[in-house]
A and B are shown apart, each in its own frame.
Chain A
Amino acid sequence: MSGAKHSALQPPIPRISLTWLLVAQALVILPHIGHLPLWVLAMWLFCAGWRVQIFRMRAGYPNAWAKAGLMLAAGAGVLLSRGSLIGLDAGVVLLIAAFVLKLVELRTQRDALVLIFLGFFCVVTAYLFDDSLSAAAFSALPISALLAALIGLQQSHLAMRPWPTLRLALVMLAQALPLMLLLFVFFPRLAPLWSLPNPSNQARTGLSDSMTPADIAELSKSAELVFRATFDGPLPARNQLYWRALTFEQFDGRRWSQASVGQLLAPPSLRKSGQSLSYSIIMQPSGQNWLFALDVAQSSAPDIQQMSDFSLQRKLPVEQTLQYAVNSWPTALRAPDALSASLAHDLQLPAGGDPRSRAWAAELRALYPSNAALVQQVLTHFNREPFGYTLKPPPVGIDSIDEFLFRTRRGFCAHYAGAMTFVLRAAGIPARVVAGYQGGELNPAGRFLTVRQFDAHAWVEYWQAGQGWISADPTFQVAPERIEQGLEQAVSAEQSFLADSPLSLLRYRNIGWLNTVRQGWDNLNYGWQRWVLGYQGEQQLQLLQRWFGRMDSQLLLLALVGGGGLLLGALALFLFKPWRREQDPRLRQFLRFQGLLARHGVQRRPVEGPRAFALRAAVELPAQSAAIQHFAAAFEAQQYALSHSDPAALRRALATLRRALPWRLSRS
């Protein structure tokens, strides 16, 4: 089909539709800006400018060569900036590039349809990158604009104003909402049919599989959300909230890192005792495998495994918001009967360096033959000697442990945990650094804990025959307020809490109403995560079982068909208002009379009565004055006098008038 024939068959795009299409495109692209290369935005501005010039007849459509050139350039751009053409990131950039390029060859209604459908798809991809409450709320804008463009496409060229179109779009959206909620609740959630590439958020903050003190210091500057936890029973005390993520068992003199995966896969041995805690956690995507839980945690989820260091790990990295339920036994014994061979790597130390620390360890070993006494002595040492807690520690040299323990004596959790583990190992006690988060903020309205990056913490656990692994926190000895109240209180003297983010609402927790607003918003987001984002297979099953006592395909079908039918019926009643069908037929004839005269240039004024209107019309249209007067008299007689209602007579009078008036097409 040639281009000319194509455009002759397909009607052009109405102006209203084009207007809304341009608006929608801006709104669709806006949430993507964060992960789009700059050249796509430049291309978009260029194409939008070109399209506007085409509309103003100052430029032509691109020819086949120009189109091919633009497409190749876009493909090459994606390849250069993303390194490949496959994968979600590259895919989204390609999708948006296509969405932008389609603009310049937007000729016919079919092109506009393609653009609108592409737009809806771009909105879906934006959800993969950000599914927060605010992102969802924002997406109502591009959806409405795309819908307005779709409606505008169907309007005749007589419609000139864009707002009624948007209004209709909003009305239809509102009418579709109940049906959408029904589908959302009852449509069965399937397991993924195949795995797709996930968005790679390169700039993610969080714990990593190795640690230097500087890493933790970096985390303490961030107020980013890590996870939220809801407890089924009462909340444990704050100083019990040690959220384990992973352990560091290898030390190279500066950096602590995780043991190899092979070591971690060994089945852990656990002696459960006492009461268990039951809670659920919704964590933000971390890009890592480990999950967060209080000691000693187990999860019944099939893809979550307990590792030999008692951390929980998932088979696949957490690339999307994840909800999981956990049970923890705080008093359980961890590997009380471990073999010394399996503990060998918890005694590993670098071949040389830090001689004073090693000497001090040997000294302690000589003084305290019992492991417990030795550990207690180290903790007491931190408590008694002038150690300080600061987020701005002075720099240390080659022998970092020596310098910290005997010279600077100022640092934060990572310094203390690293130094203590070093000393215990040097004294022959198996020990390791545990990394995770400590504490969390209680939201009083929602009764849940919010843990943020600045709650990152490192502590120590050492192994004692018969008792297994025992946790110890040297930071508590130095700055108990860090554990009992939080980081903000621990560093209040040096004013370093979130010093780099002056706008963070968390800095203003002391302002009462602001804090209430912040916590309310936080609560809303948490509800959003739990009830909307987390509404997948398991949650759907639980909810429906709670509501109906059962959950099977029959129930789902019944709810979808029955509920959908009811909703549609209600909407039909609302739309057609059958009880109003018998609206006064005389009035309807009068409205027609009014419309007919309006088309011949006589508009009824707002407060003009039927008689005055008819008199004026008769003066303005003298040739038809008799017919006009006749209708008006008949209408008045029927409407206001006690005359018998006879709409047919009115209709006849109107027909006479219409014949008397010159033939005129409705809108010429």
Chain B
Amino acid sequence: MIFAAKLKPRWNRWLVKRIPPAASVLLNQRRIFIIPSRTGAAFAVVLLLMLLAAINYQNSLAYSLTFLLTSLFIVAILHTYRNLAGLTVKAVGASPVFVGEHGGFRLQLLSGNRGHQAIALGWTASDLQVLDVAAADVSDCELRLLATQRGWLRPGRLRVESRFPLGVLVSWSWLDLDQALLVYPRPIAADLPAHAGGGADEEEDGVRIRGQGSDDFQGLRSYQPGDSKKRLHWKAYSRGQGLLVKDFAALAGRDIWLDFNQLGGDLETRLSQLCHWVLQLSASQQPFGLRLPGLELPVATGVAQRDACLRALALFGSPA
């Protein structure tokens, strides 16, 4: 184990040199490794037993079968390599997710003149997804990875593996498709700080803002991450109408500032709460601004504002 741990960084450095990061990689002899699998070792033991039987019985047919299977083993090297070679693996993109969700990395496998069978893809050697690619065709797949912390989720190298056709050999490659996915903080429901309003304390014509208020029932809307479970409309869910949330309206001031410093709790909790409010206010088309230490996003509304704020929250505190 210690030996393996020492070897690992060296192996990684070598791998970076050999297979540098790229969004699209063609698998060829530079990038494909091949060795006998565990099945292959068992097969070799069987071959040895058969050879012993052939020698001791001086039986030409037993020799022939042993040699035939040995030849198949050798020929399988070409076939196993061929099943992977000529395949192009391409990163297509990934949509942002919240902490606690599974991020989906979309990949495309493009074949050349040949079809490829049972190509296994995954982040670790033990958990692989299998798919086929016909000749001159494209297969799409989505590899999921649990997002455990906010910021950029980089999945590390992608294992592409093939044991087809005999399973006695495994050919594989570790590709860095330079993929990354933005992970937003996990939204946590909290009350909007009392002085989130524009600073004016006189209660002029307040606007109704939808969301976490409890004053007036506004209707039902579909569930968004961060919504309180208490407000789920279970009856509608049981009728098969999907997850709906009972929407209430509260009165608030005109401009809303979501201010990091106005919140209590540790950094991540505050970011989570801000995240929740960004989602709520965006859903209700309410203009808002975001204040983080060292960063201020002016009051605005719309999807662009929402994404900018979420991105700021996700990347808060991380270099660049």
Contact = CB atoms under 8 A, between A and B. Distances in A.
B214 interface: no
A159 B132 contact: yes
B141 to A, nearest CB: 7
A532 B60 contact: yes
Interface in B103-159: 106, 110, 112-113, 117-118, 130-142
B132 A180 contact: no
B74 A568 contact: yes
Interface in A351-385: none
B136 A591 contact: yes
Interface stretch (A49-57, A575-583, A609-617): A575-583
B59 A131 contact: yes
B61 A195 contact: no
A194 B59 contact: no
A36 B184 CA distance: 69
Contacts of A667: 131, 139
Given A113-B39, A156-B130, A143 B65 contact: yes
B14 to A, nearest CB: 26
Interface in A68-110: none
A117 B43 contact: yes
A157 B61 CA distance: 35
A601 to B, nearest CB: 15
B65 A536 contact: no
Interface in A95-133: 113, 117, 120-121, 123-125, 127-128, 131
B57 A196 contact: yes
Given A193-B56, A194-B56, A131 B72 contact: no
Given A156-B130, A568-B78, A180 B52 contact: no
A120 B74 contact: no
A177 B55 CA distance: 21
Contacts of B42: 113, 117
B95 to A, nearest CB: 10
B165 A168 contact: yes
Size bracket, chain A contacts: 35 or more
B55 A147 contact: no
B43 to A, nearest CB: 7
Interface stretch (A22-30, A183-191, A207-215, A422-430): A183-191
A644 to B, nearest CB: 23
Interface in A557-597: 564, 568, 571-572, 575-576, 580, 583, 588, 591-592, 595-596
Given A180-B68, A192-B55, A192-B56, A571 B136 contact: no
A231 interface: no
Given A156-B117, A156-B131, A117 B56 contact: no
B308 interface: no
Contacts of B43: 117
B56 A127 contact: no
Contact of A536 (B60, B130, B139): B60
A52 to B, nearest CB: 24
Nearest to B137: A595
A154 B70 contact: no
Contact of B79 (A117, A139, A172, A580): A172
Contacts of A136: 61, 64
A150 interface: yes
A150 B133 CA distance: 21
B209 to A, nearest CB: 34
A637 interface: no
A288 interface: no
Contacts of A583: 113
Contacts of B74: 176, 179, 564, 568
A153 B130 CA distance: 13
Contacts of B54: 124
Contacts of A150: 166-167
Contacts of A633: none
Contacts of A154: 117-118, 163-167
Could you tell me the dominant secondary structure of chain A's interface residues? helix
A477 interface: no
A320 B71 contact: no
A153 B85 CA distance: 21
Contact of B82 (A139, A575, A666): A575
Contacts of B69: 120
Contacts of A545: none
A535 interface: yes
Interface in A156-183: 156-159, 168, 172-173, 175-180, 183
B46 A666 contact: no
A143 B135 CA distance: 29
A533 interface: yes
B52 A123 contact: no
Interface in B51-103: 52-72, 74-76, 78-79, 82, 85
Contacts of A180: 64, 67-68, 70-71
B49 interface: yes
B297 interface: no
Nearest to B63: A184
Contacts of B58: 189, 192, 320, 536
A230 B242 CA distance: 89
A159 B67 contact: no
A151 to B, nearest CB: 5
Given A121-B46, A572-B78, A596-B138, A158 B55 contact: no
Contacts of B283: none
Contacts of B133: 666
B50 interface: yes
A128 to B, nearest CB: 6
A173 B46 contact: no
A153 B167 contact: yes
Nearest to A132: B61
Nearest to A664: B140
Contacts of A493: none
Contacts of A568: 74-75, 78
Contacts of B136: 588, 591-592, 595
A131 B61 contact: yes
A665 interface: yes
Contacts of B85: 576
Contacts of A128: 53, 57, 59, 62
B71 A183 contact: yes
Given A153-B167, A595-B138, A665-B141, A533 B131 contact: no
Nearest to A153: B167
A176 B118 contact: no
A594 to B, nearest CB: 8
B199 to A, nearest CB: 45
Nearest to B50: A124
A575 B165 CA distance: 14
Given A131-B59, A172-B72, A172-B75, A120 B46 contact: yes
Contacts of A664: 140
A152 to B, nearest CB: 10
A19 interface: no
A520 B112 CA distance: 50
Nearest to B118: A156
A534 B59 CA distance: 9
A195 B56 contact: yes
Given A154-B166, A194-B56, 6 more contacts: A121-B50, A156-B130, A172-B76, A176-B74, A176-B75, A180-B67
9 contacts: A179-B70, A180-B64, A180-B67, A184-B63, A192-B55, A192-B57, A583-B113, A592-B138, A665-B140
Interface of A: 113, 117, 120-121, 123-125, 127-128, 131, 135-136, 139, 143, 147, 150-151, 153-159, 168, 172-173, 175-180, 183-184, 187, 189-190, 192-196, 198, 320, 532-536, 564, 568, 571-572, 575-576, 580, 583, 588, 591-592, 595-596, 658, 663-667
Interface of B: 39, 42-43, 46, 49-50, 52-72, 74-76, 78-79, 82, 85, 106, 110, 112-113, 117-118, 130-142, 163-167
6 A-B pairs closest in CB distance: A591-B136, A179-B71, A176-B71, A183-B67, A127-B61, A595-B137
